[in-house]
Structure 1
Amino acid sequence: MTIEELYRDLHAHPELSFEETRTAGIAAAELRAAGFDVIEGIGITGVAGVLRNGAGPTVLLRADMDALPVTEDTGLTYASTATGVMHACGHDVHVACLIGAVRELAATQAEWAGTVIAVFQPAEEAGGGAQAMLDAGLYEKVPVPDVVLGQHVGPAPAGMVGAHPGVAFASADSIDITVRGRGGHGSRPETTIDPIVIAAAVVGRLQTIVSREISPQDTSVVTVGRISAGTKNNIIPDDAELGLSMRAYSEDVRLRMIAAIKRIVNAESAASGAPEPLFEFAESFPVTVNDQLATERTMTAFRSEFGDEAVIDPGPVSGSEDVGLLATAVGAPLVYWILGGADPEKYLAAANAGTIERDIPSNHSSHFAPVIQPTLDRGVAALVTACREWLRS
């Protein structure tokens, strides 16, 4: 099966976090066919393969496998066959490209020396996949790498690659908050403590965290993405639930934002005489930091291989990733780059018209559909080029 055929198959059969059994099986079979030693079931559905080729450095290449609960609306002939599930973030691209790189590295062992580790990680979207593999003893099952490499497809023009040294992706935390009140009849509000009124006040006040408590030089985001309360128009409920997402580029800012959220919610509840609210922290992603020297070395290799015009610095990305945990767990440098996946002509037209945000679907959109080529070829070549840069010739 060609990489293009493999990609179409993966796109048509997406699987949610920690449910990537079919995808993991394909990855394991491809690794075995290429001569890798394979370990399956690391962190539920994670797969790792090791190819030892003499003395030399150890390089870890990572791809995430999970899809999203999104209903696809791309119109592709190979669109998702799973109801309400879609590869809306491009992890199918990541898996296909890593399999392509595995094939090429295995076929060219006479040209390099060292050890290659290929990691197919589950549940990046849930923020727990990398940690699950670490908790399951990943580095007891595979060698400790000298460098961790990976890529993420995005709405940049296909054929482009690039990484930002230093802080590359923001941290992200999801917080579920239950504001507690005292329910009753809508005709007698004086007998109740209305949690919907408290929640409304909270939503408005939370907007002041970024605008009034965080320096304009420290980019951050607080979003209330979900509010749920009540069952009937004339019933004041006991509780109201809010779903928050927050992002920051430093741990100091992140901790200040969490403290501010707790303070505001607690204060609004107290002001209404309500019971203490409940906080539940769901998925969490740390700040992703690219090693300065390792990034410069890898980008130099990209410029040599692809030309200066194909290598960009995307700047810090407001999205989040857990790949950095695979590096920080063993003190290895990380290089994580953006791989362009948008149709170059459409991107240029949108750029000239100033309509990129409107006309170029972003990750997590139901319309997100990277062009197959040159995206896949460049993604394979980027992984191989970066890996070979760190291996011995």
Structure 2
Amino acid sequence: MSRTVSERSIHAHEATLTSRVRRALEGVRVPGPAPLAGAALLCLLIGLLFLALQVRAIFSAQLQQEYVGLVLEAVERADTARAAASSLQDTPAADSQHRAAYREARIELSARLAALHALIASSPMAAPVLPAAVLSPATALGEASSALDSAYAYWRTERDRTSADVRARILSVSHTLIALSAIVFGVLITALGMYAKRNRQLLGISNEFEQASLHDPMTGLPNRRKLFSALEEAANALEGGSARIAVLYIDLDGFKRVNDTHGHRIGDEFLIAVSRRFHQVMRGSDLVARIGGDEFALLVREFSSDGELAAIAQRIIACVHETDAQMGLSIVRASVGIASFPDRVSDYWRLVAAADDTMYTVKRNGKNGYAFASASA
């Protein structure tokens, strides 16, 4: 029996798998969410800074509004005092009572104008002050009236300006908040999409590794690990009664001569070709695995009789013979050992070993045939 394996071919297939995994990993290393999060954080910081400046400007504008309101109230009070003084200005000189009221009205107007002047002079923003002449109690009422009209017009304009500024800044803040919300939402959606894509890629890589760990790299057939996993599942699925499972252990007689005579490349081509034939002739419920070198095993999950197993063994032997004839070698044949559970082997874990031992019996008895394991196996 030959157990020679072409290390060069296996290494080539392993290199191919490694290359595929490396490319997959490189595919995973797409720009992750970190750069996107950094850019979004920068935008958020800029937006928050802009919001802070706008809020500060809004508070400042509101304070200006309040100050403008105070000035306009002072102007209205001064204008009320002016109107009172104007109503008493034409009082006859003989009417001492009205003349006294006029003087008090002028003093009140002068006090109101002085208070207005002091308020305007302490304004946090540049503003025209009242003419010094109107602050005197002896100033003409016409001059006071003109000064008050100018002050009222100016501060009313300031009130309208500050109100418009506050409205504009509030609108700007609302637009900024909408933009920041859109950025945050977009970043979250994009990050979720990137993580989902990365998870799909990692899942694909995981599946590829699992596939590689359960299959022979050269022939693509399930390997020993996959065979024993399927064997355990099949044994656990048995419901008793007449249900049975079987393993056919296959060794290629004369395969070492192929490697020695024709080289490992031809040997590898033969293994690949015969593996394809095995896969073509086996039933859908069965599983054929490459154990190693030139040895294979076929798990039969259900069968009705030993005759059915014998027919399967004959098809396997025919596959080897046909492959050998197709490649013009006239060297390779097959020896097949058959073991079944639970009638011939009481422990399904020993099925492969029992079939292997039976295969050796076939080889000792002339090769190129099959045999059943004894009931005591």
Higher relative contact order (CA 8 A, sep 6+): 1
Report the TM-score when normalising by structure 1.
0.24
Report the TM-score when normalising by structure 2.
0.25
Based on CA coordinates, which of the two structures has the bigger radius of gyration?
2
**Larger strand proportion of the pair:** 1
